C-alpha cells in the first residue's frame, strides 16, 4: 500500500478531499490563499462530509494540516491542484491552475502533480509547455455537488480516467485503487482524450436533461412526461438517471463545460449540436 505525503492546493472541494485522504493514512496538507476555507463552514463541506468528519476526525487529526503557506508543501510526494477554472471569454481559464502550479513548484519541483481542476481542450499541453520538467497527470474526479465523498469513492459512471503524456502512471493508479471502491474501472488514457471525455460527459448529461424537458414541454403534462422518461430510462442503451423533466442543465459544471466544447469545436457539426443544446436549455418553456 502506497502511503504518501500529499498536498492539496485549493480548498473548495479540496477541503473535503484533504479530510478523506488523511482518513486513509496519508499525511495530508491542505493549502489555500483564503483561510476561511479551512473551517467546517466551507460551503463545499456538505452534510455527508461533515458527518464523516464528525465520526472519524479523531482517528486522523494528527495527519491533517491546513495553511495558507505554500512553503510547507516542500516535502510532499504528490501535490493535487484543485482550484477553479472559470469561463473567461467563453473559454475555461487556466489562470488559477497555472498560478497554483507556479507557486507550488517554486516550493517543491520534485513532487508529482495531479490536476483535479477541469481542463480546457489543450490545457495539459499548456501545462507541459510552461513546466516541462515537472511530472504531471490529469486526474479529474467525476463528483456530484453535495455528495463529494460518496461520488469521489464511487463515481456515478463507475470509471476514473487518468490522463498521461509519455510515462505510464503506475503509481497514480495504485493511489487511486486505494482511494476508490474496488469495482471502479480506472482508465489510463491520453491527456487529450481525458480532457474531451470530461467535458463530453457533461455534454451528454445535458442532452438527456434538455431532451426530457423538451418532451415535457411538448406534452404539457409533467406527470405523463415523467412516465415516458421512466420507461425510456429502463433501456440500458439510454442509461438510468438525468433523463427526467425538471430544471435545466445547470450547476457549476454543465453550462461551463458545454460552452468550452462549443468554443473548442468551432466550425464543426459538434458546435452546431452544442449550440442547439444551449439554446433549448435557456428557452425551454418549463424553465
Are residues 179 and 78 in contact, defined by beta-carbon separation less than 8 angstroms? no
The residue written with cell numbers 504518501 in the block is 4
What is the predicted pLDDT for the residue at 1? Answer: 65
Number of other residues whose CB lies within 10 A of the CB of residue 47: 9
**Helix boundaries (H) for 111-190:** 123-130, 148-153, 170-179
Hey, which residues does 88 pair with through a beta bridge?
91
Q: pTM of the prediction? A: 0.91
SS3 for 162? strand
Least confident of 43-52, 98-107, 118-127, 208-217: 208-217
- Reported as a pLDDT band with limits 50, 70 and 90, residue 285 is very low
Domains and CATH numbers, the chain: 5-183 (3.40.50.720), 198-283 (1.10.1040.10)
Q: Residue 242 pLDDT > 80, yes or no?
A: no
Amino acid at each position: 500500500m502506497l502511503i504518501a505525503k500529499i498536498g492539496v492546493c485549493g480548498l473548495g472541494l479540496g477541503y473535503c478531499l484533504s479530510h478523506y485522504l488523511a482518513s486513509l493514512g496519508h499525511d495530508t496538507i491542505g493549502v489555500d490563499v483564503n483561510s476561511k476555507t479551512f473551517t467546517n463552514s466551507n460551503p463545499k463541506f456538505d452534510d455527508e462530509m461533515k458527518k464523516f468528519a464528525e465520526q472519524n476526525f479523531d482517528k486522523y487529526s494528527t495527519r491533517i494540516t491546513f495553511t495558507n503557506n505554500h512553503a510547507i508543501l516542500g516535502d510532499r510526494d504528490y501535490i493535487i491542484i484543485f482550484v477553479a477554472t472559470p469561463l473567461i471569454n467563453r473559454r475555461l481559464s487556466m489562470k488559477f491552475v497555472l498560478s497554483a502550479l507556479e507557486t507550488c513548484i517554486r516550493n517543491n519541483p520534485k513532487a508529482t502533480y495531479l490536476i483535479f481542476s477541469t481542463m480546457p481542450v489543450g490545457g495539459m499541453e499548456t501545462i507541459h509547455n510552461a513546466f516541462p520538467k515537472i511530472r504531471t497527470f490529469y486526474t479529474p474526479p467525476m463528483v456530484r455537488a453535495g455528495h463529494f465523498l460518496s461520488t469521489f469513492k464511487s463515481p456515478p459512471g463507475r470509471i476514473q480516467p487518468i490522463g498521461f503524456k509519455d510515462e505510464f502512471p503506475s503509481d497514480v493508479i495504485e493511489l487511486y485503487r486505494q482511494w476508490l471502491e474496488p469495482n471502479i474501472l480506472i482508465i489510463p488514457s491520453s491527456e487529450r482524450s481525458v480532457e474531451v471525455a470530461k467535458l463530453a460527459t457533461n455534454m451528454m448529461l445535458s442532452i438527456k436533461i434538455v431532451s426530457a424537458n423538451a418532451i415535457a414541454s411538448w406534452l404539457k403534462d409533467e406527470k405523463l412526461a415523467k412516465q415516458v422518461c421512466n420507461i425510456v430510462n429502463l433501456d440500458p442503451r439510454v442509461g438510468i438517471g438525468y433523463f427526467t423533466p425538471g430544471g435545466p442543465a445547470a450547476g457549476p459544471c454543465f453550462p461551463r463545460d458545454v460552452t468550452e466544447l462549443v468554443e473548442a469545436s468551432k466550425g464543426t457539426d459538434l458546435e452546431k449540436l452544442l449550440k442547439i443544446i444551449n439554446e433549448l436549455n435557456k428557452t425551454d418553456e418549463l424553465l
